[in-house]
Amino acid sequence: MGAVVLEGVEKSFDGIKVCSQIDLSINKGEFFTFLGPSGCGKTTLLRLIAGFITPQSGAVFIDGNEVTKLPPEKRKVGMVFQNYSLFPYLTVGQNIEYGLTIQKKSARERQKIVELYMDMVGLSGFGGRKVTELSGGEQQRVALARSLAVEPEVLLLDEPLSNLDARLRDKMRSEIKSLQKRLGITTIFVTHDQTEALTLSDRIAVFDKGRVVQVGTPKEIYDTPGNVFVAGFVGDTNLFRVTRSGNTIRLESGIKLNIPSTSGPGNWLSIRPQNIRISAKPIHEPNSFQGRLLEKQLNGVWIDSIIEVGSTVLRVAELNTFEMKGELQPGDNVWVTLPENGLRLLED
Ligand SMILES: Nc1ncnc2c1ncn2[C@@H]1O[C@H](COP(=O)(O)OP(=O)(O)OP(=O)(O)O)[C@@H](O)[C@H]1O
Ligand SMILES: [Mg+2]
């Protein structure tokens, strides 16, 4: 049995279902991510696992024991809340010590553990500081140290990086990952940020409106999305409604494309922007079309081009290398190729 197992978990508030039939099994030591848009029930599910709320039906197991009705302090879970929830009137040290007092550890033990975890999150010497005198990133690390200090079996992290600037977020992301690997602690990480999910996770569960729509490794989720929602939510993609006849599909705009004979069913076409080829000169290959460059956006590593082919608008991404000549300008004619192997048919 997994370290955390959810069986048919259902939760409603005021008759509105927020978590529907959730079945998940998270392995020991795994870094598992709940990924989904705002309001899809991620925090609710985390609170169900932590024991702050109980489900109307279904069961929660931690380490093989059913904990569905147990209070949080009996579950051996540590949680970092979406807003950190530090005690503002306590110092850094007292915040980290809090759970250890509840565990009735001796003063000596408490001091040793507090120093160990302050050191681990890079806050040695901060013990006497008030948490209100800390930066957002430092507060985030106190929250992490506080949840780790009680040596939980399971660590629950609810969007712990969302309040940080981009640089600090990158730094904390790798700190959390290396800490988690070093301690081997089963971790459930909640985010609505696909990059965070793809870079950190062993596996991801994608949520939509209170349901799990796909579970897989980052590569599986990105390369083989299970439906049109996952394709659109995880990574950029071009999506079009299509009708199929044999190995040909037709977009609503009339464009016809060859698809591989192995394509599954589905009335949506997804093609990632980096899989479309673009040229200033005519291309005479299957699935190639003449279009017009509408717009070009530089975002550092990539150059995004918006291209119109008839009434179809495509987003194309090219790597911004020193070889880029930048010869295409908005208004120019361009030729695009949508290689068969880059096309995926998906269902609703
Ligand atoms: N205690 C509650 N009472 C009533 N409704 C609630 C309660 N807690 C959550 N909800 C509702 O349940 C839905 C899911 O909320 P939840 O906090 O789980 O979303 P989330 O996926 O964590 O979103 P976000 O990414 O914005 O944090 C929302 O519509 C929310 O308003
Ligand atoms: Mg939330």
For the Cβ of 47 lying below 6 angstroms from any atom of ligand 1, the answer is no
In the chain, where the domains are located: 4-230, 236-346
In the prediction, which pLDDT does 176 show? 84
Q: Find the 168 Cα to ligand 1 centroid distance in Å.
A: 27
Instruction: Report the C-alpha gap between 141 and 117 in whole angstroms.
Output: 10
269 vs 16, 47, 118, 236, 306, CA distance in Å?
A: 33, 37, 50, 13, 18
Instruction: Report the C-alpha gap between 279 and 290 in whole angstroms.
Output: 10
Give the closest ligand to the alpha carbon of residue 81: 2
Q: Whose CA is nearest to atom 6 of ligand 1?
A: 13
Task: State the fold for domain 236-346.
Answer: OB fold (Dihydrolipoamide Acetyltransferase, E2P) (2.40.50)
Q: Whose CA is nearest to atom 24 of ligand 1?
A: 38
For the Cβ of 40 lying below 6 angstroms from any atom of ligand 1, the answer is yes
Question: 216-274, pLDDT tens digit by residue?
Answer: 999 999 999 999 999 999 999 999 999 999 999 999 999 999 999 888 889 999 999 99
Query: What counts of helices (H) and strands (E) characterise the chain?
Result: 8, 20
Instruction: Report the C-alpha gap between 141 and 167 in whole angstroms.
Output: 15
In the prediction, which pLDDT does 348 show? 87
Q: Whose CA is nearest to atom 12 of ligand 1?
A: 18
Q: Which two tokens mark 105?
A: 């550890």
For the Cβ of 41 lying below 6 angstroms from any atom of ligand 1, the answer is yes
What is the DSSP code (8-state) at residue 234?
S
Ranges of residues in the chain with a pLDDT under 70 are: 163, 326
For the Cβ of 42 lying below 6 angstroms from any atom of ligand 1, the answer is yes
Q: Which CATH architecture has domain 4-230?
A: 3-Layer(aba) Sandwich (3.40)
Question: 19-53, pLDDT tens digit by residue?
Answer: 999 999 999 999 999 999 999 999 999 999 999 99
